[in-house]
Amino acid sequence: MPETLSSKEAIEYLGIEKKEFENYFKSSGEIKGEKVGARFQFNKSDLNKWKVLKENRTVLLSLSEYEKCFEFAIKMAYSTRASHGTGIRGVRSEMQRADDFILGILAERGVQKFLKEKFGKEIKLDLEVHQDRITPQDFDGIIENGKVRPTKIDVAIKSSKWKNCWNIIAPIEYEKEGRKSDVYIFVRVGLPSDHLFRILKEHSFFKNVKEFLEHSDSFRKILTLKEIPIWVTGFSFHSEFEKVNEIPGQKFDGNPDYRYVKSVAKMHNSDEDWKDLIKRI
């Protein structure tokens, strides 16, 4: 008889946060469970398969790689007219915009590292700052025999926080020629919300704050940023997305009031899937 675990035991076994577990189980269904009486039970062997796949699909970006990505994010934040303002009434500040950009830039760098380390495929990213211009495709080319060739299909990399489990594409990105992509890769980025404070905590002007927090038991401490985990959860082809008005826990409003979505559980993510995609690229 297979060994089963309770929700609490499964969370501990997988080494993830409770909110992450609930999302992966209840929202996307990438973690499977069976209801026995009033409670859910989880097959330990199934959990182990999920855990192993997660480990195999995660790459670590070093602190120096993070710094290069953040430098690029700052350039992006100052490159657009929309960033001008205080960020108080509808206009996002440069700091807010840099924080928005960094997630996507880290995801792109993570996918580049993942494909090279796991499958030996080297891709070229677009590392140029384009003022007031959207670049919908994230692969700038494929490096083969020391030369760069154009990609055969258009690829977009979509980043999200660690707990999220749906790739959500806005209609303008999905429907409009010149904006849509053939393939969408979905990436979870393990970037702590206080990442900049962690970098600055050794700076001289941060000295008093650091000492105060470290000697005050009731306050959280500023941890050290050593590396950034990037979890490549899978990919979906353009035709595979579902047009919906809501997903579990989120209703889409505005005009239009729909999005194109795909859950992590339904993405392509086996070794063979990735090898096939690499051939197409």
Per-residue tokens: 223: 């941890």
Specify the 3-state DSSP secondary structure of 237.
strand
User: What is the reported pLDDT for 95?
Assistant: 76
The answer to whether the beta carbons of residues 257 and 36 sit under 8 Å apart is no
Q: Is the pLDDT of residue 25 over 90?
A: yes
Give the N- to C-terminal CA distance of the chain in Å, as an integer: 44
Q: Is the pLDDT of residue 87 over 50?
A: no
Do β-strands 155-161 and 183-189 pair in parallel, antiparallel, or remain unpaired? parallel
User: What is the reported pLDDT for 163?
Assistant: 95
The arithmetic mean of pLDDT across residues 62-80, rounded, is: 87
Rounded CA-CA distance 32/13 in Å is: 14
Query: pLDDT tens digits, residue range 88-100?
Result: 445 677 878 888 8
Q: Is the pLDDT of residue 133 over 80?
A: no
Q: Where are the alpha helices (DSSP H) in 124-268?
A: 171-175, 195-200, 207-214
Rounded CA-CA distance 211/206 in Å is: 9
More confident residue, 228 or 87: 228
Q: State the pTM of this model.
A: 0.90
Q: Is the pLDDT of residue 72 over 50?
A: yes
- At 188, which helix (H) or strand (E)? strand 183-189
Q: Is the pLDDT of residue 82 over 90?
A: no
* Cis amide linkage into residue 256, ω under 30° from 0: yes
Specify the 3-state DSSP secondary structure of 138.
coil
**Choice among 25-29, 144-148, 202-206 with the minimum mean pLDDT:** 202-206
More confident residue, 83 or 244: 244
More confident residue, 81 or 143: 143
Of the ranges 33-47, 63-77, 231-245, the best mean pLDDT one: 231-245
Q: Is the pLDDT of residue 258 over 50?
A: yes
